[in-house]
Amino acid sequence: MSRSSKFVKVSAVALIQIVWASVAHAADTNYELKPISLPGATGTVALDYFAYDRATGQLWVPASNTESVDVIDENADAVSQIAGFPTGDIERRGRKITVGPTAASIGDGVVYIGDRGNATICIIDARTLARGECVPLSADGAVTPDGVVYVAATRELWITLRVKAGDSAPAKRLEIFDASDRHRLKPKTKIPLENLAEGYAVDNQHGIFYTNIEEAGKTMAIDLHSHKVIATWNPGSSDLQGLALDSARRFLFVACGDHVVSLDAGHGGKVIDTIATGPGLDNIDYSADAKLLYAAASQAASLTIAEVDDYGKFHLKATVPTVKGARGVVAGKGETAYLIDPAEGRILKLIRK
């Protein structure tokens, strides 16, 4: 890389940080955060993928090392606990941590739970909260579920993977289960990848699954029906995290460490716009009803809310102060959203005043 190209890259990153710093102080007072404590949480809880069920108005929170999945009613903020999920040790950044259920996805009248503790996928009735069968992710138990997502167009469950410890090679693929019987999961196929998948978004209308490829700096589009890779794009960063999608207008939003990029998924994946958020992004979300993007930056301790226009461009609506470590956000009804706060073992509910 030439000195001039290095200068351009550094300058671009610096510009993003300067812009974010300037807007971060303009905190919006039209929003407040309501903490919702999770049962049994006495310290850090390894929170990751959680999900909002529009049919029931419930938030599903796999609470990992508490050995439970917590279900929060959006009206009363009451918490119901589904206990008894196994936990186990995994290696993360050179140290062992205890984990259990860490991923949830809303299916057709059921909710699928990925348990990293024993490398299984469990099925729970969305209304009665009764637990059904749990199936092993693999015969040898070498891989554990990371992201779990129900694909309505094909009635399948797509799963991104991690390993408990050691060489990550076995997890460099997507695992797909047949979910045509909502109470039974059957292994169906695998899609090999060049590296680990990170984040996901599903366009059921156009039949496409999106994911990022770790370290490669690539965002990939996969045909839901053929299970073939149909496009690979470069969002301009190697630090790729979560994805969100406006399927109607075909805008794909990619979390890139300290900013979010808008891609034109309907026209070759070209970069449309970028919005600075501050560092520490993980999973982001988008409300199609309100046309709002939500991005929580854990290191910056702030939530960026941006309107998305018909050209895929961002317009900053609010910067809401949060707490250090609050990462991952799920859009609820209207302008309500939920953030995870792993350090305090709780959910932060965003409410517009």
- How high is the pLDDT of residue 29? 66
Whether the full predicted model's pTM is greater than 0.85, yes or no, is: yes
- How high is the pLDDT of residue 94? 75
Q: Are residues 164 and 63 in the same domain?
A: yes
Tell me, what DSSP letter sits at residue 76? T
* Cβ atoms of 102 and 88 closer than 8 Å: no
Q: Are residues 208 and 300 in the same domain?
A: yes
Average pLDDT, the chain: 92
Q: Are residues 172 and 246 in the same domain?
A: no
Q: pLDDT band for position 27 (50/70/90)?
A: low
DSSP 257-309: SSEEEEEETTTTTEEEEEEE--S-B---EEETTTTEEEEEETTTTEEEEEEE-
What's the average model confidence in pLDDT over 328-349? Answer: 97
Task: Specify the 3-state DSSP secondary structure of 161.
Answer: strand
Tokens of 197: 């998948």
Q: Are residues 31 and 49 in the same domain?
A: no
- How high is the pLDDT of residue 7? 37
Q: Are residues 285 and 347 in the same domain?
A: yes
What's the average model confidence in pLDDT over 139-153? Answer: 93
Q: Are residues 220 and 181 in the same domain?
A: no
Torsions phi, psi for 4 (to 5 deg): -65, -40
Q: Which domain holds residue 114?
A: 45-192
Alpha-carbon distance of 192 to 266, in angstroms, equals: 24
Domain boundary among 192, 217, 247: 192
Q: Are residues 172 and 212 in the same domain?
A: no
* Cβ atoms of 57 and 73 closer than 8 Å: yes
- How high is the pLDDT of residue 89? 85
- Compute how many other C-beta atoms are within 10 angstroms of the C-beta atom of residue 266: 14
Q: Are residues 225 and 315 in the same domain?
A: yes
Q: pLDDT band for position 93 (50/70/90)?
A: confident
Domain boundary among 158, 192, 226: 192
Q: Are residues 91 and 183 in the same domain?
A: yes
Q: Are residues 212 and 341 in the same domain?
A: yes
Tokens of 253: 């939003």
| pLDDT value at 5 more than 70 | no
Domain CATH for 25: 2.130.10.10
Domain count, the chain: 2
Tell me, what DSSP letter sits at residue 11? H
Alpha-carbon distance of 270 to 286, in angstroms, equals: 19
- How high is the pLDDT of residue 326? 96
Q: Are residues 301 and 221 in the same domain?
A: yes
Q: Are residues 177 and 105 in the same domain?
A: yes
Torsions phi, psi for 39 (to 5 deg): -60, 135
- How high is the pLDDT of residue 28? 58
- How high is the pLDDT of residue 106? 98
Tell which wins on pLDDT, 92 or 253.
Answer: 253
Q: Which residues contact 208 (CB under 8 A, 6 or more apart)?
A: 202, 221, 222, 223, 224, 230, 265
